[in-house]
């Protein structure tokens, strides 16, 4: 029996036009953010890839790198409701999801429960310093992210669409924090590292901020357009070559398997699960439409490999002793897995 994949559906004229609109919207968003944010082009790209991939993103960087400003500025460039939660050790789950209160009818004097929605009921939510709140509150937050709903008093309350969470965490001052377990990190589509700006960018930041030359951001995209682009991503075709490359990367990341290279067996505690393949393919398709292409390439997979896999591959003690982290392991994986090899669906 043949194991060949079915032919890709024909590209409709509407989808081609939608891809062009997506590229134009991406360029407009970058132009708007450039009024406030200097540089960080790669971070902006990855955040939008996560958004169009219908996932959530975790941003990590030292204080002062404009993570919060980037997210709030992005919200201003979109016609979306925006809420921010500053996570603290005393934050309770109900402070995020909402709570039920007893309300008395002024006419009948009858009492009944009424649900007061929490800040999670927004299109875009900034979860600032998510690693500073206890696991119980983190779990309530991640449940809402995964199920896109909140249960209270036996009732299910749907979250608005689109719904997108951008969480930040500070890698410094780990004393008194509650690091997210690997199983919960896996719920984030992308794990984005925010690095220091270049010398020229930092110079421009100082000049703009100290002279009050920050621009006003205008909204350029609606929630309905975002939902349209999210649906468009699912229709973007993926060749066996691109799918096979993503599949091979993830398979090779698992130690003590037939596909794993020697360095994986030596330095990896556990590798990426099936969600890793889904993330690589989905994000490669989302990146393709950002650049006006109606097909994903191996280059798209390579561009999203680090944010897609850095929280799904765990280095062991031997790797840590050799100063080898997930970043280096992903780079070694991309060197070990040939991009030009012909990949086909494996036999059952």
Q: Per residue in 275-319, pLDDT tens?
A: 999 999 999 999 999 999 888 999 999 999 999 999 898 888 988
pLDDT band at 9 (very low <50, low <70, confident <90, very high): low
Rounded to the nearest 5 percent, the helix, strand and coil shares of the chain are 45, 15, 40
Are residues 131 and 170 in contact, defined by beta-carbon separation less than 8 angstroms?
yes
Q: Could you tell me the pTM of the whole model?
A: 0.85
Instruction: Read off the pLDDT of residues 134-189 as tens digits, 9 standing for 90 and up.
Output: 888 888 888 788 888 887 777 788 888 888 898 888 776 666 677 787 777 888 99
**Backbone torsion region of residue 46, taken as left when φ is above 0, otherwise alpha when ψ lies between -120 and 50, otherwise beta:** alpha
Instruction: Reply yes or no on whether the pLDDT at 1 is more than 50.
Output: no
Rg (alpha carbons) of the chain, rounded to whole number: 22
């Amino acid at each position: 029996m043949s194991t060949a994949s079915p032919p890709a559906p024909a590209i409709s004229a509407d989808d081609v036009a939608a891809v062009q609109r997506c590229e134009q919207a991406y360029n407009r968003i970058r132009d708007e953010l450039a009024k406030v944010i200097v540089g960080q082009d790669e971070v902006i790209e990855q955040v939008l890839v996560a958004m169009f991939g219908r996932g959530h993103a975790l941003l990590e960087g030292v204080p002062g790198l404009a993570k919060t400003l980037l997210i709030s500025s992005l919200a201003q460039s979109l016609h979306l409701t925006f809420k921010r939660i500053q996570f603290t050790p005393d934050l309770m789950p109900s402070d995020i999801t909402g709570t039920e209160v007893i309300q008395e009818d002024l006419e009948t004097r009858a009492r009944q429960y009424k649900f007061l929605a929490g800040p999670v009921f927004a299109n875009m939510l900034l979860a600032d310093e998510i690693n500073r709140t206890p696991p119980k509150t983190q779990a309530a937050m991640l449940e809402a992210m995964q199920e896109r709903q909140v249960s209270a008093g036996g009732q299910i309350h749907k979250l608005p669409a689109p719904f997108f969470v951008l969480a930040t965490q500070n890698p410094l001052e780990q004393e008194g924090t509650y690091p997210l377990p690997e199983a919960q990190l896996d719920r984030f589509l992308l794990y984005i590292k925010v690095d220091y700006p270049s010398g020229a960018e930092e110079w421009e930041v100082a000049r703009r901020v100290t002279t009050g030359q920050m621009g006003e951001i205008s909204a350029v995209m609606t929630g309905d357009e975002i939902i349209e682009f999210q649906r468009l991503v699912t229709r973007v075709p993926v060749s066996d070559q691109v799918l096979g490359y993503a599949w091979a990367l993830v398979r090779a990341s698992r130690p003590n398997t037939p596909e794993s290279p020697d360095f994986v067996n030596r330095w990896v505690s556990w590798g990426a699960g099936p969600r890793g393949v889904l993330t690589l393919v989905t994000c490669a398709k989302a990146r393709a439409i950002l650049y006006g292409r109606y097909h994903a390439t191996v280059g798209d997979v390579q561009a999203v490999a680090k944010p897609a896999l850095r929280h799904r591959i765990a280095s062991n003690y031997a790797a840590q002793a050799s100063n080898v982290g997930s970043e280096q392991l992903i780079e070694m994986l991309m060197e070990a897995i040939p991009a030009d090899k012909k990949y086909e669906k494996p036999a059952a």
